[in-house]
Chain A
Amino acid sequence: DSGVTQTPKHLITATGQRVTLRCSPRSGDLSVYWYQQSLDQGLQFLIQYYNGEERAKGNILERFSAQQFPDLHSELNLSSLELGDSALYFCASSPQRGSNTGELFFGEGSRLTVL
């Protein structure tokens, strides 16, 4: 158990809908990362927050947004969903701003299916 909690574990929804994925980082970790994993694209970095502020941005679509709250949990909002958004969404946390050793602690992911 990595200590990172993600909910929901599974989510099935329809095209055009909006969903929110939630992540609670390990106790004491200030950085939260969001990744998308699909069969053909591998693990794609979406966005990173550190202590409530956006730190780095990857290939995150404009239809997606995220935030980190004062209690350090984070939410990833996906809107106007398309079939291609079906994927595993991982949250990871690390203690430092830049994760000096590259060690991220991953949750077990939220599997999103868009029908």
Chain B
Amino acid sequence: QKEVEQDPGPLSVPEGAIVSLNCTYSNSAFQYFMWYRQYSRKGPELLMYTYSSGNKEDGRFTAQVDKSSKYISLFIRDSQPSDSATYLCAEYSSASKIIFGSGTRLSIRP
């Protein structure tokens, strides 16, 4: 079993829709939970990080962590074509390893 599971997509939604991206993880030692965004032919860049269970909001983006079920989500409101990218969840353990999910390819149709 992979430490981090993520649906690879692709996911295609119309502009303005609410997008939900999800990951599950198996290692209870993970302490930090991140979402990275990767545009085509570019390196990933950090979008959001959370430490505890609950929600964290940043503009149109909301990250949600449920440690009891080992489930993390990223919601994008009022999605824009510029949000089209691959979104990778990542988890960080005390062993200093940051483990990435395989990424979900998202396309926002104008």
| Interface SS majority for chain B | strand
Q: Tell me whether B32 and A102 are in contact (CB under 8 A).
A: yes
Return the contact of A99 from the options B92, B99, B103 (Cβ within 8 A): B92
Q: Tell me whether B43 and A2 are in contact (CB under 8 A).
A: yes
Q: How many residues of B contact A (CB 8 A)?
A: 24
Most buried by B among A33, A45, A58, A103: A103
Return the contact of A109 from the options B32, B43, B97, B102 (Cβ within 8 A): B43
Task: Give the segment of B44-52, B53-61, B67-75, B76-84 that binds chain A.
Answer: B44-52
CB neighbours (8 Å) of A99 from chain B are 92, 96, 98
Q: Tell me whether B46 and A102 are in contact (CB under 8 A).
A: yes
Residues 30-44 of A, flagged 1 when their CB comes within 8 A of B and 0 if not, give 000101000001111
Task: Give the segment of A13-21, A74-82, A90-98 that binds chain B.
Answer: A90-98
In Å, the complex CA distance between A97 and B95 comes to 11
- The 6 lowest CB-CB distance pairs between A and B, nearest first, are A106-B43, A42-B102, A43-B100, A102-B92, A102-B34, A102-B32
Taking A48-B97, A56-B97, A90-B44 as known contacts, 14 extra A-B pairs with beta carbons closer than 8 A to each other, sorted by chain A number, are: A4-B43, A42-B100, A48-B96, A56-B95, A97-B96, A99-B96, A102-B33, A102-B98, A103-B34, A103-B49, A104-B44, A106-B43, A108-B42, A108-B43
